[in-house]
Amino acid sequence: MITLNVCHLYGNLLNTYGDNGNLLILEYYGKKMGIQFKTDIISLDDAFDADKYDLVFVGGGQDYEQMIISKDIQQKKVALTQHIEAGKAVLAICGGYQLLGHYYLDATGERIEGIGALNHYTLNQQEDNRYIGNTIIKNETFNETYQGFENHGGCTFLGDGVLPLGKVVQGFGNNGQDQTEGALYKGTYCSYFHGPLLAKNEQLAYRILATALQARYPEKAAEIKL
Q: Kindly list the catalytic residues.
A: 94, 194
Spatial separation of the C-alpha atoms in residues 159 and 185, rounded to whole Å: 11
Spatial separation of the C-alpha atoms in residues 184 and 190, rounded to whole Å: 6
- Find all residues with CB under 8 Å of 188, minimum gap 6, and list them: 84, 89, 90, 92, 100, 117, 118
Between 188 and 214, name the residue whose CB sits nearer to ligand GLN.
Answer: 188
Residue number of the CB atom closest to ligand GLN: 60
Q: Which helix (H) or strand (E) holds 151?
A: strand 144-152
Q: Does 95 bind ligand GLN (CB under 6 A)?
A: yes
Spatial separation of the C-alpha atoms in residues 133 and 148, rounded to whole Å: 8
- Asked if residue 130 belongs to a known ligand binding site, the reply is yes
Q: Does 137 bind ligand GLN (CB under 6 A)?
A: no
Q: Does 102 bind ligand GLN (CB under 6 A)?
A: no
Q: Does 151 bind ligand GLN (CB under 6 A)?
A: yes
Of residues 152-191, which lie at the interface with ligand GLN (CB under 6 A)? 152-154
Between helix 202-214 and helix 21-32 the angle, nearest 10°, is 70
Between 37 and 103, name the residue whose CB sits nearer to ligand GLN.
Answer: 103
Of residues 34-73, which lie at the interface with ligand GLN (CB under 6 A)? 60-63, 66
Q: Does 16 bind ligand GLN (CB under 6 A)?
A: yes
Q: Does 15 bind ligand GLN (CB under 6 A)?
A: no
CB distance 96 to 9 below 8 Å: yes
CB distance 192 to 176 below 8 Å: no
**Of these, 4, 13, 26, 94, which contacts ligand GLN (CB under 6 A)?**
94
Between 6 and 94, name the residue whose CB sits nearer to ligand GLN.
Answer: 94
- Dihedral of CA atoms 90, 108, 78, 60 in degrees, nearest 10, equals -20
Spatial separation of the C-alpha atoms in residues 50 and 55, rounded to whole Å: 10
Q: Does 101 bind ligand GLN (CB under 6 A)?
A: no
Kindly state the DSSP code that residue 32 receives in the 8-state scheme.
Answer: H
Residue 115: CB minimum distance to ligand GLN, A: 16
Residue 20: CB minimum distance to ligand GLN, A: 13
Between 55 and 92, name the residue whose CB sits nearer to ligand GLN.
Answer: 92
Interface residues with ligand GLN (CB under 6 A) are 16, 60-63, 66, 94-95, 151-154
Per the annotation, where are the binding residues for substrate? 130
